[in-house]
Amino acid sequence: MNDTEREAYLSYLRNRRSSHKINYYQESLKEIADYHREHPGKKPSILLHACCIVCACWPLEFLKENGFDVTVIYNNSNIWPQEEYDHRRQELQRYIKERYQDEIPVIVPPYDYEEYASRVLKNRGTDPEGWSSCFGCYGERMGSAFRYADENGFDWFATVMTFSRQKDSQKINEIGLSLGRKYSHTKYFASDFKKADGALKSDRICNAYCIYRQDYCGCEYSYHERHQQVK
Ligand code: SF4
């Protein structure tokens, strides 16, 4: 990171703390109410991008409670190593099977960390977590899932990444809203799944279902940073 990039990063952190924030949780409640008023009796379909079941379990409850027909997509070539990718996928599929039987399909596109890292994570070795490489990483996975949603006629697309306290949900929603402008059919469902005690609700579900909780975001850089901190 050079001096200009460092200054841009520090300025982003200052603005992130002080800037006016949109309450996307309230926005999502309003969106749901508007939809049901305009389409009485209709069950909207939604494709939900999920990176792990810890982040996804509460959003799934929330969307089901609010009348959505949910399909999950696990497109996360950012996760390293493959054993970890497989473990998170298996936990996601196990929980969904136990909790919802066959009610929620799970789509799993091909996994290729090497290809993903060489294309998307080129600068992640010098970028800190939560900065521009991560924005690219959010956008890449949301973009490919959004394209799938539009091609397959889903009414909405959402991501569970707004659940994470480590991620900037304002930024994630900006990316989602911008992606949404490219598509004619599928709309972006802006969210903030950590609001209204989302973390507490997720905790209860994870405890009840003995869900595996990873301690790093996903890529090899986040793994090494996390384990360096622990040492
Ligand atoms: S820390 Fe997470 S969001 Fe950032 S680049 Fe790595 S996997 Fe992607």
Higher per-residue pLDDT: 70 or 228: 70
Q: CA–CA separation, 154 vs 127, rounded Å?
A: 35
Q: Give yes or no for a contact between 65 and 41, defined as CB atoms under 8 angstroms apart.
A: no
| Residue 49 Cα to ligand 1 middle (Å) | 15
In CATH terms, the superfamily for domain 23-230 is HUPs (3.40.50.620)
Judged by average pLDDT, the poorest of 1-5, 30-34, 71-75, 170-174 is 1-5
- Percent of the chain at pLDDT > 70 equals 98
Per-residue pLDDT, 5: 86
Q: Which atom of ligand 1 is nearest to the CA of 120?
A: 5
pTM score, whole prediction: 0.95
134 Cβ inside 6 Å of ligand 1: yes
| Residue 203 Cα to ligand 1 middle (Å) | 23
124 Cβ inside 6 Å of ligand 1: yes
Q: Which atom of ligand 1 is nearest to the CA of 121?
A: 5
Q: Where are the beta strands (DSSP E) in the chain?
A: 45-49, 69-73, 106-107, 156-159, 187-188
Q: Per-residue pLDDT tens for 122-142? A: 999 999 999 999 999 999 999
Reported as a pLDDT band with limits 50, 70 and 90, residue 229 is: confident
Q: CA–CA separation, 86 vs 45, rounded Å?
A: 27
133 Cβ inside 6 Å of ligand 1: yes
Per-residue pLDDT, 231: 62
Write the CB contacts of 141 (distance below 8 Å, at least 6 apart in sequence): 49, 51, 75, 76, 77, 78, 159
What is the per-residue DSSP string for 1-18? --HHHHHHHHHHHHHHHH
Q: Which of 97, 90, 127 is nearest to 214 (CA)?
A: 90
Classify strands 156-159 and 45-49 as parallel, antiparallel or unpaired: parallel
Q: Per-residue pLDDT tens for 35-90? A: 999 999 999 999 999 999 999 999 999 999 999 999 999 999 999 999 999 999 99
Q: CA–CA separation, 87 vs 74, rounded Å?
A: 12
Per-residue pLDDT, 230: 66
218 has a pLDDT exceeding 70: yes
Q: Which of 229, 204, 200, 216 is nearest to 81 (CA)?
A: 216
